[in-house]
Structure 1
Amino acid sequence: MADSTDTRDLPKQSRRNILDVMEIDTRLLGMIGAFIVICVVFDVWTGGRFLTPRNIFNLTIQTVSVAIMATGMVFVIVTRHIDLSVGAVLATCSAFMAMTQVVWLPQSFGIPLGSPLIAPVAILIGVIVGVAIGAFQGWLVGYLTIPAFIVTLGGLFVWRNVAWHLSNGQTVGPLDPQFVSLGGIEGTLGVTGSWILGALVSALAVYLLANSRRNKIGHGFPVKPVWAEVAIGAVTIGAIMGFVWILNSYDIPTARLRRMFEARGEVMPDGYRTAYGVPYSVLILIVVATVMTVVAQRTRLGRYIFATGGNPEAAELAGINIRFLTVKIFAIMGLLCAISAVVASARLNFHSNDIGTLDELRVIAAAVIGGTALSGGIGTIYGAILGALIMQTLQSGMAMVGVEAPYQNIVVGIVLVLAVFVDILYRKRTGD
């Protein structure tokens, strides 16, 4: 009888051990599965139009702006705060950069659009404005102890209307060509550059896996079997190179290619064709995600952020300057709003009064769907980016099948509530 019981338990125990041995994040696995299901459903619903290289390219550049800010929102929520002003701060940074390019530099200094100085100066001004706004709001929260909800709710109204005042309520554009190249379709790495980027990122992924294994061995910690490391590495490389392959499959339209050749004073060869490749905006997101992950996992600032979120009282008793830490977190959020403003306005080729509208809700939703706990102390950068991708996929898919914008927002709201509910159940089950 005992032998019969042992036999029945073996399959279940084996499956559990495989997940444990490979150290698979089951929540991340579930999110990836949900993303795949959403994509397949919309592809079937649209008759195969959703998973085309063109649509995936557009989906990618539409996700970048929110995803960049979502990485910063992770730090804000992890420390038990909230930032409702990110969309308005993005609009203010966008207004400053647009006015710098179109009005201030040309009229005050005689520097025309197309000058090599225009884009760098505009971006620098936008970054300074974003960091200053973020640090100011962090000071109000950290040193004056005004709740972040109130400070950033006030900021939502203030900064949105500061942006309106700067532009006199008008659309400002067109923007500098170098600046516009950072928005997506106007600036890409091309086919060869994209394959090189894919190879470099794949090599970096393999290095990180090997380095993590080496560190664990050096400190006497248990490690995964070699086959598990190889399997994870192979899946990672496959995902990276597959993504590059899809973007390299989206050909530049012939008419656009002909205009590009004519702008250089050349004649396009007969039968010539090439693809867009990876947009510069996606490269910016990769850099931001890498830096934010390093900050979260490998720096003292990251340890302080998660320690403070886990137990603020204990963190303060341990000597962490929570007030100054709050200023740093909101300053980082302001910096990321400025970077997002670059991507968002460059993709549109102008600054408009409604730029960034409702982005604060999309960013918070992306972070929460990605697993950041509103109770603080838990969150991941990659989870927030995946959350932003899921949000954009839902909205783009619904738009393609003809769902009107109000109903799209209803669905997104329901998904957000369900994601938080599932997260609560998951944490209760796992004891996190």
Structure 2
Amino acid sequence: MSNENGIISLIRLSLKKNIKQYTMFIALIGLMIIFTILTGGTFIMPRNLSNLFIQTSYIAILACGVVLVIVAGHIDLSIGSVVGFLGAIAATLQVNLHYGTLVTILITLFVGLLIGLWQGYWVAYRNVPAFIVTLAGMMIFKGALLGVTNGATIAPLDDSFKALGQGYIPNIGSLNIGSLSINMTTVIIGIIAIIIYNALELKKRGERKRYDFETLPKNLQMVKMIVVSLAIAIFFGIMASYKGVPYSIVFVLIVGILYTFITKNTTFGRHVYAIGGNKEASRLSGINIKQRNLLIFASMGILSALGAIIFTARLNAASASAGAGLELEVIASAIIGGTSTMGGEGTIVGAIIGALVMATLNNGMSLMNVGPTWQYIVKGLILLLAVWVDISTKKKN
């Protein structure tokens, strides 16, 4: 009986701990079903879903970085201007200076790191609130963007650079089933992803049992693994029935896995959550808060550069208006995905789900010919609802 109570308590704890991510995942599925019905099936077509995932990619990458910023109790209002500026740097290197793709990427990432260190320095070592620092950064880099572009569009970019935002992993062969052509490279990647996921789950379960931690019953563990494996199979199945896996999605997967590991399995990640949960207690426990804050904004700078590269490659151009309002989409994605506005709480997976929710709303309403007026209103209301749920949950706890 006590064993059953322990299992029930474990399940309840898991649900309570991840309730926001589960809720948003269910909401995402619900939105997809609604838009599929309202668009007569157009939304669920592989071509549209592939474009949807590509549209999500740079938002998801930026949201991964902003999770750390918000969890630590800060905010970054400069994301849109920084992405626009870094995209203009990349386009200038490609079009005007004729630099190769690899050199362009490395220089853009380095400039992004410098921007992150610059803003982090003012927050960490000069005690200027992040709100003010990044608000100033929004204006500074918006001006820098206008200076680099001279108000004109810089295009076109090299095909190899453009592929980062528009291209797909090469196909080794196709399997034709009636009129449907299946991308075998994507099928193989999907199978590998399922194998890796299940191997990691079994490894994690074995480690928990070895240290006498509570684990899910075998039946529930099996159900969980089957459901997640099925979700992975559906995702790669959709990709395989169109052109395959876009390079931009590969970047999202790499960033998502890396930052999930950082937040869950490193000292730095634990310190970030500790700082956001209780800054004074973190200071008394010996955490170097200044250094951690500097690294958080340096991380945001690098991901801003990566997001800018994919964003610019997708558009095949840089313009004076690039990145306008992007910070709102990114911050909303993180918050909708469960990152608490009060700090100390948030996940990378949740932020990626939040980015998918935002992209689904944009894509679905566009297919329905809903004007920008109502699109902004709907997204604003959803953000307001997400913050209200967060605050209400905190008060109950």
Q: TM-score, normalised by structure 1?
A: 0.85
Equivalent of 1:188, from 147, 169, 172?
Answer: 169
Q: State yes or no: 1:78 paired with 2:71.
A: yes
Q: How far did 1:426 drift?
A: 3.4
Q: Is the 8 A contact 1:21 1:224 kept in 2?
A: no
Distance between the aligned counterparts of 1:29 and 1:100, measured in 2? Answer: 43
Q: How far did 1:189 drift?
A: 4.3
Q: How far did 1:188 drift?
A: 3.2
Structure 2 residue aligned with 1:93: 86
Distance between the aligned counterparts of 1:171 and 1:205, measured in 2? Answer: 43
Structure 2 residue aligned with 1:7: none
Q: How far did 1:307 drift?
A: 0.9
Q: Partner letter of residue 20 of structure 1?
A: I
Matches within 5 A, 1:177-256: 177-184=159-166, 186-190=167-171, 191-250=183-242
Structure 2 residue aligned with 1:333: 300
Distance between the aligned counterparts of 1:323 and 1:194, measured in 2? Answer: 44
Q: Partner letter of residue 201 of structure 1?
A: A
Q: Is the 8 A contact 1:126 1:338 kept in 2?
A: yes
Q: How far did 1:343 drift?
A: 0.7
Q: Is the 8 A contact 2:341 2:387 kept in 1?
A: no
Q: State yes or no: 1:394 paired with 2:361.
A: yes
Q: How far did 1:210 drift?
A: 1.1
Q: Partner letter of residue 236 of structure 1?
A: V
Q: Is the 8 A contact 2:273 2:344 kept in 1?
A: yes
2:216 aligned counterpart, secondary structure = coil
Q: How far did 1:91 drift?
A: 1.1
Structure 1 residue aligned with 2:45: 52
Structure 1 residue aligned with 2:179: none
Structure 2 residue aligned with 1:5: none
Q: Does 302-311 or 208-217 show the bigger shift?
A: 208-217
Q: How far did 1:245 drift?
A: 0.7
Distance between the aligned counterparts of 2:355 and 2:69, measured in 1? Answer: 16
Structure 2 residue aligned with 1:102: 95
Q: Is the 8 A contact 2:84 2:323 kept in 1?
A: yes
Determine what percentage of the aligned residue pairs are the same residue: 40
Structure 1 residue aligned with 2:266: 299
Structure 1 residue aligned with 2:180: none
Equivalent of 1:119, from 81, 87, 101?
Answer: 101
1:71 aligned counterpart, secondary structure = helix
Distance between the aligned counterparts of 1:339 and 1:27, measured in 2? Answer: 27
Q: Partner letter of residue 196 of structure 2?
A: L
Q: How far did 1:335 drift?
A: 0.4
Q: How far did 1:428 drift?
A: 4.0
Q: How far did 1:21 drift?
A: 7.0
Gap change, CA 1:40 and 1:19, over 3 Å in 2: farther
Distance between the aligned counterparts of 1:21 and 1:421, measured in 2? Answer: 23
Q: State yes or no: 1:168 paired with 2:161.
A: no
Distance between the aligned counterparts of 2:353 and 2:258, measured in 1? Answer: 17
Structure 1 residue aligned with 2:141: 159
Question: Number of matched residues?
Answer: 380
Q: Is the 8 A contact 1:21 1:225 kept in 2?
A: no
Q: Is the 8 A contact 2:81 2:141 kept in 1?
A: yes
1:355 aligned counterpart, secondary structure = coil
Equivalent of 1:346, from 305, 313, 319?
Answer: 313
Which structure: larger Rg? Answer: 1
1:150-196 CA-partner distances (Å, limit 9, x unpaired): 11011011112212211222111110111111103x33343222122
Structure 2 residue aligned with 1:68: 61
1:203-245 CA-partner distances (Å, limit 9, x unpaired): 2211221121112112111111111111111111111111111
Q: State yes or no: 1:278 paired with 2:245.
A: yes
Distance between the aligned counterparts of 1:187 and 1:178, measured in 2? Answer: 11
Equivalent of 1:407, from 364, 369, 374?
Answer: 374
Distance between the aligned counterparts of 1:247 and 1:425, measured in 2? Answer: 39
Distance between the aligned counterparts of 2:198 and 2:136, measured in 1? Answer: 45
Q: Partner letter of residue 17 of structure 1?
A: I
2:89 aligned counterpart, secondary structure = helix
Gap change, CA 1:189 and 1:244, over 3 Å in 2: farther
1:230-272 CA-partner distances (Å, limit 9, x unpaired): 111111111111111111222xxxxxxxxxxxxxxxxxxxxxx
Distance between the aligned counterparts of 2:378 and 2:34, measured in 1? Answer: 15
Distance between the aligned counterparts of 2:80 and 2:138, measured in 1? Answer: 7
Q: Is the 8 A contact 1:22 1:224 kept in 2?
A: no
Q: State yes or no: 1:38 paired with 2:31.
A: yes
Q: How far did 1:19 drift?
A: 8.1
Matches within 5 A, 1:305-384: 305-384=272-351
Q: CA RMSD in A?
A: 1.8
Q: Partner letter of residue 11 of structure 2?
A: D
Q: How far did 1:17 drift?
A: 3.4
1:46-87 CA-partner distances (Å, limit 9, x unpaired): 111111111111110001111100001110000100000011
